[in-house]
Amino acid sequence: MSKRESAVPPPASIVPLLSRALHRIRSTPPRIIASPPTQPRRAAVALIIRVVPSSSAPVPPTAATPPTLTEFFEFDWVNDPNARPEILFLHRKNASADEVTLAQSRLRNTNESHVAFPGGRMEPEDEGGLYTAMRQTWEEIGVDLAERQYISVGQLDDREITTSLGKRLLMILSPFVFLQVTPQAPPPDPIESTTLHWTPLASLVSPSTPPRWSTVTVDAASRLAPKHSTALRVLIRLLIGSMEFPAILLDSSNIVPLTDTKKHDTLEKGVPVRPQQDLKLWGLSLGMMLDLMSYMIFPPPTARFSSPLDNADSAASSPLSAVMQLPYQAEFEGLRMDIIAPSLASVFPRFSYPDVNFWIWVFGKRYRSVVRGWEASVRAGGTNDRRINWSGSALSTFYAAIRKALVVVIVARALGILFGVAFTVWWLFGR
């Protein structure tokens, strides 16, 4: 080994970034979206984080009361350089209709699997979104978030789940963040059709090992045509093509799935069980993960800089600047969508036909105006204006641009087909 190789320092711990993010989530009021009378359905999910202590670190005795968030990040075993922060994903083999809705669409590629967070639909007897997230987690994976091993950190912004390219609201989703504050916790007991994956946060947010970006292809006809109208689906598929969404490909070598008690001994020995399919984080789950990552980017506004975006060098020196660069989400008129609204950028598709993307840009003037207003709000206050649903406005105007673009494309294609048929008939019989 050369001296240069031996002098390379080990990757920096992301525990300080995680501490910053969780403290900021706790101190930042989330934007709450009230359910309209016409669609009262709501859902909630749990983002569960733990820190796996180093094998060489002494395990502290379990305290009678759980530590505070600040006390937790002062523990020696948490700040050990070899401690490993992880976040819990799950894969549902037999997803229900509500779970497919939360995933936005079924995947076209059967060799891909969509990972998500535990959670589900709110029931009438639930006391609120937090209760729903805890109840669904207990029912689905057997983890009791009310026990002393866990604390509730806070809530991320509510988000609207829509269908038919934003025309119809399906439900409001509330994400809640939980932290395991003990080195060990009772093992989960997931239902038979669910597989759990504790994924190291370093594989998602570390600048030394940035995530591997990929795409998920979704049939555009699934968003526009009725489910049982086969002929219409085929026609729309031919006219419009497919949509591609950004996705993070989870490295199977960094994942230890917990399947059942029969594999417990194998997992305890550190032997990973490789999944049969590629695991991709995309859609709503990617959006919520990017929301969490965005809290790790910048420190709170200082007296010198009212907003991190006011200083270009601060963006360049961010430890996650390279990590947060989404595929085909380049800078737009000086605005980096990956910093202003990372979760918003995750749901913007790119169509397989270039002319569709061109017409979306042509009709996207109102959307760009909303984004500029969002940017001005962030620059003025150093944080998002919670009184305005910027993400909802941006999504609605973006989907409006998509609908207009699709009308133009379909009409143009139909006219082209009619002209081609008329020309063929004239060529064959009219000459």
| Segment 172-228, tens digit of pLDDT | 999 999 999 999 999 999 988 888 999 999 888 876 777 788 888 888 887 777 777
Split at pLDDT 50, 70, 90, the class of 344 is: low
Paired residues of 171 in beta bridges: 161
Ramachandran region, residue 116 (left: φ > 0; alpha: ψ -120 to 50; beta: rest): beta
Looking at residue 245, its pLDDT comes to 86
Looking at residue 329, its pLDDT comes to 47
Looking at residue 330, its pLDDT comes to 45
Q: Mean pLDDT throughout 296-305? A: 46
Q: Which helix (H) or strand (E) holds 357?
A: helix 354-362
Looking at residue 181, its pLDDT comes to 95
* Of residues 277 and 349, more confidently modeled: 349
Q: What is the dihedral of CA 210, 211, 212, 217, to 10 degrees?
A: -150
Q: Mean pLDDT throughout 349-365? A: 90
Looking at residue 118, its pLDDT comes to 96
Looking at residue 229, its pLDDT comes to 79
Taking the mean position of all CA atoms in its chain, how far away is CA 212? 14
Taking the mean position of all CA atoms in its chain, how far away is CA 94? 21
Which token pair is 130? Answer: 């937090």
Looking at residue 265, its pLDDT comes to 43
Give this prediction's pTM.
Answer: 0.81
Q: With the C-alpha atoms ordered 317, 318, 323, 326, is the resulting torsion angle positive or negative?
A: negative
Looking at residue 385, its pLDDT comes to 59
Q: How far is CA 369 from CA 215, 364, 372, 383, 405, in A?
A: 27, 9, 5, 19, 18
Phi, psi of 60 (to 5 degrees): -75, 155
Residues 6 or more apart in contact with residue 283 via CB below 8 angstroms: 103, 104, 105, 114, 216, 245, 346, 347
Domain 9-218+250-305: homologous superfamily in CATH = Nucleoside Triphosphate Pyrophosphohydrolase (3.90.79.10)
Q: Is the pLDDT of residue 40 over 70?
A: yes
Give the tens place of pLDDT for each residue, 368-388.
888 777 767 666 654 555 667
Q: Is the pLDDT of residue 4 over 60?
A: no
Give the tens place of pLDDT for each residue, 396-413.
888 889 889 999 999 999
What is the rounded CA–CA span in Å between residue 431 and residue 428? 7
Q: Is the pLDDT of residue 318 over 50?
A: no
Give the residue from 46, 35, 47, 283 showing the smallest Cα distance to 172.
35
Residue percentage of the chain with pLDDT more than 70: 71
What is the rounded CA–CA span in Å between residue 52 and residue 49? 10
Looking at residue 65, its pLDDT comes to 84
Which token pair is 371? Answer: 């984004």
* Of residues 155 and 216, more confidently modeled: 155
What is the rounded CA–CA span in Å between residue 222 and residue 398? 19
Looking at residue 29, its pLDDT comes to 87
* Of residues 303 and 343, more confidently modeled: 343
Looking at residue 261, its pLDDT comes to 45
Q: Is the pLDDT of residue 298 over 70?
A: no
Q: Mean pLDDT throughout 128-147? A: 96
Paired residues of 180 in beta bridges: 150
Residue percentage of the chain with pLDDT more than 90: 30
Could you give the angle at which helices 15-27 and 283-294 cross, rounded to 10 degrees?
100
Looking at residue 8, its pLDDT comes to 45
Mean pLDDT of the chain: 77
* Of residues 210 and 275, more confidently modeled: 210
312 SS3 class? helix
Angle at 122 between CA 120 and CA 124, to 5 degrees: 155
24 SS3 class? helix
Residues 6 or more apart in contact with residue 151 via CB below 8 angstroms: 66, 68, 69, 72, 178, 179, 181
140-144, 291-295, 310-314: which range is least confident on average?
310-314
> DSSP secondary-structure letter at 54?
P
Looking at residue 307, its pLDDT comes to 38
Looking at residue 264, its pLDDT comes to 47
Looking at residue 6, its pLDDT comes to 46
Looking at residue 333, its pLDDT comes to 42
Whether the CB-CB separation of 376 and 418 falls below 8 Å is answered with: no
Q: Highest mean pLDDT range out of 130-134, 312-316, 424-428?
A: 130-134
Give the residue from 188, 145, 178, 180 showing the smallest Cα distance to 75.
180
What is the rounded CA–CA span in Å between residue 274 and residue 127? 39
Give the tens place of pLDDT for each residue, 98-120.
554 444 444 455 567 789 999 99
Ramachandran region, residue 230 (left: φ > 0; alpha: ψ -120 to 50; beta: rest): alpha
Q: What is the CA radius of gyration of the chain?
A: 24
Q: Is the pLDDT of residue 341 over 60?
A: no
Whether the CB-CB separation of 41 and 169 falls below 8 Å is answered with: no
Q: Is the pLDDT of residue 26 over 60?
A: yes
